[in-house]
Amino acid sequence: MGFLTKRSSKSGLHQLPSGTFTVDPQGRLVSSTVPQWVPEALVREIGQQVLAVFKGAAAARLQFSELKIQYEAFRITAREMRGGAVIFLTPKTAPSALRP
Amino acid sequence: MATPNKILLLDDDESMLELYQELLKQLPSRPDVQVCNSGARAIAMLESEPFTLLITDLRMPKMDGLQVLAIVRRKFPQLRIVVLTGVLDEEYRSRCYAQGVEMFWQKPSNTEDIQMFQNCIESMLDRVTQTPDGFRGVQSKSLVDLIQLECLSRSSSVLHITRAALDGRVWIQGGEIIDAATANLTGEEAFKEIMSWKGGNFEILPADPSRMRTIHGSSQGLLLDTAQSLDEAQAPEPSSEPGREGQPATGLAALARLEGVAFLLSVPMEEKAPLESWSLESPGDVAAWARDTHRRLARLGETLQAGAWTGATGFGLQEHWALQPHDLKGLLCVGFRPALEKDQVEQTMQLVFDKWAS
């Protein structure tokens, strides 16, 4: 259990978030169905990182409108929307299995 | 009224573009001539609308003419290509012809040359209009293969083969090899001599029924004998043989043969380590983005406690790509053609990644 306690202490998350949210081109949260227990700062952070990937890719002349990011236990899917994005968060494992 | 032929003119020199656009517009067939000044733009234009002919320069910044040829030949096999360049280099000429260009022109320097250039282009457009159907392609075939094809199809023709200063002919009548000639040799000796040439050009000339038969054995027997002699005499292939598209045959070039792969980039984690790329216009920019993305996504994964970042995929109208990290080798970024479905992109990426990592 020490391992799980150490992991959870970093962000205070008890489980991986799920839901959908949108960010504007400046990374501001526009709308969200992500549960309230997920810190808003974390949701914004995800949005900003996704936008940074889109913008960096455009600068490198890689053009795309849909981005899928895979983690061992989590998936982020994002669609570019007029400089902003709609972002889907999907845990891969049943949330209860990840509870500390 | 017939649709005019469309010509795409590619040169990084705007003044040349203007000049040749005017020259080509004056052709009797009145083609629609469009221009662009970069390889990437040319490929985008070719993807967006059909063209009959591409006329391209060789020396251009970023993506040079040979890179353009390599991509265009693969993506648009029906497109006629003419190289128009100031580069007078036999190696370039050979590489261009190997890529399947129709003509290699030195940029005309006087009125006569310009007239000849215009006539050639008009004649080519005329041929395209008259015979729009049929298969075209580029491949390296051995002479044995070529002659075997002629024999199997029971053709009657004269195969004219050249290799630098060497010149030879093989007469085929009704699928039978009846004679051959090169330098002072004729008959079977000449045939075997010609077959020993390891490369060159060929053209198929009309049959010559009046040619006296000097080779009386069966063509298949002669071809088998010759192929066997060649196999025995063949030295091992040098390992530095150029790969597809004239680029060095690196490990990446081998991976590029997988269906749907448009570009490859291997990015070591160490920023100063050299990049390895295939068919990518700006590998440095993409590598910088890949490293930045890796850092961002790894950090985000830690924050989320979502486990290790295992990959990212982008889907677009023009292209798809996938980026995947490897603990020891760094990052692999692969571009895919837009025709691939999403699940095909992911499956192909896994194949490419596994081969690259191993």
pLDDT in tens, B210-227: 899 999 888 878 888 777
Q: Are B242 and B267 in contact (CB under 8 A)?
A: no
How do residues B289-316 score in pLDDT, each as one tens digit? 999 999 999 999 999 988 889 999 999 8
In angstroms, the separation between the Cα of residue B316 and the nearest Cα of chain A is 4
Strand partners, B46: none
A31 pLDDT higher than 90: yes
Q: Which long-range contacts (CB under 8 A, 24 or more apart) does B22-25 make?
A: B23/B114, B23/B117, B23/B118, B24/B55, B24/B118, B24/B121
Angstroms from B358 CA to nearest CA on chain A: 21
3-state secondary structure of B65: helix
Q: Determine the Cα–Cα distance for residues A21 and A42; give it in Å rounded to an integer.
A: 12
CA separation for the pair A37, B24 (Å, rounded): 68
Percent of chain B scored above 70 by pLDDT? 88
Minimum mean pLDDT range among A34-43, B53-62, B342-351: B53-62
Higher-confidence residue of B165 and B185: namely: B185
Q: Could you tell me if the ipTM is greater than 0.85?
A: no
Element (H, E) at B265: strand B261-267
CATH code for B6-130? 3.40.50.2300
List the B185-186 sheet strands across, edge first. B185-186, B176-182, B166-173, B157-163, B201-206
For residue B36, list its beta bridge partners: B10
Average pLDDT value over all residues in chain B: 81
**Model's pTM, two decimal places?**
0.47
State the DSSP string of A19-31: EEEEE-TT--EEE
A97 touches chain B (CB under 8 A): no
The mean of the pLDDT values for chain A is 82
| CATH fit for domain A13-98, picks 3.30.450.30, 3.40.50.150, 3.30.465.10, 3.40.1160.10 | 3.30.450.30
Please name every residue paired with B33 in a beta bridge, in sequence order, or none if there are none: B7
Say yes or no to pLDDT of B74 above 90: no
* Residue of A62, A89, A99 to mutate, interface with B, max B Cβ within 10 Å: A62
Looking at the predicted structure, is the pLDDT value of residue B281 above 80?
no
**Partner residue facing A74 (CB), from B286, B296, B304:** B304
Comparison of pLDDT for A85 and B166, the residue scoring more: A85
Percent of chain B with pLDDT over 90: 18
Task: Provide the CATH number for the domain formed by B247-357 in this structure.
Answer: 3.30.450.30
Q: How confident is the model at residue A4 (pLDDT cuts 50, 70, 90)?
A: very low
* DSSP-assigned beta bridge partners for residue B166: B163
Q: Which long-range contacts (CB under 8 A, 24 or more apart) does A35-41 make?
A: A38/A13, A39/A11, A39/A12
- Identify the weakest region by mean pLDDT among A23-37, B41-55, B194-208, B238-252: B238-252
Q: What pLDDT does B232 receive? A: 67
**According to the model, what pLDDT value does residue B294 have?**
94
pLDDT for B104: 82
Say if CB A66 and CB A54 are below 8 A apart.
no
Residue B285 is nearest to which of A59, A63, A74, comparing CB atoms?
A59
A49 touches B at CB < 8 Å = yes
**Among B210, B207, B223, which residue's Cα sits nearest to residue B174?**
B207
N-to-C CA span, chain A: 7
- What average pLDDT does range B115-123 have in this prediction? 85
pLDDT in tens, A48-68: 999 999 999 988 888 889 999
Nearest CA in chain B to A43: B304
**Min distance A60 CA to chain B CA atoms (Å):** 5
Helix (H, G, I), strand (E, B) or coil at B308: coil
B232-253 pLDDT, tens digit each: 665 444 433 333 344 444 577 7
Distance in angstroms (rounded) separating the CA atoms of residues B40 and A83 = 24
pLDDT tops 50 at residue B267: yes
Return the C-alpha torsion angle B277, B281, B285, B286, nearest 10.
Answer: -60
CB contact under 8 A, B313 and A68: yes
What are B127-183's pLDDT values in tens digits? 766 655 555 554 556 777 778 777 877 778 888 887 767 788 999 988 889 999 988
pLDDT category at B205 given cuts 50, 70, 90 is confident
Q: Do B315 and A59 touch (CB under 8 A)?
A: no
pLDDT tens by residue, B13-41: 888 888 888 889 888 888 999 988 888 88
Among B94, B103, B51, smallest CA distance to B72 is for B51
Find the range with the poorest average confidence among B63-67, B182-186, B229-233. Answer: B229-233
Instruction: Delimit the CATH 3.40.50.2300 region(s) of chain B.
Output: 6-130
Contact between residue A28 and residue A45 where contact means Cβ atoms under 8 Å apart:
no
pLDDT value for A95: 45
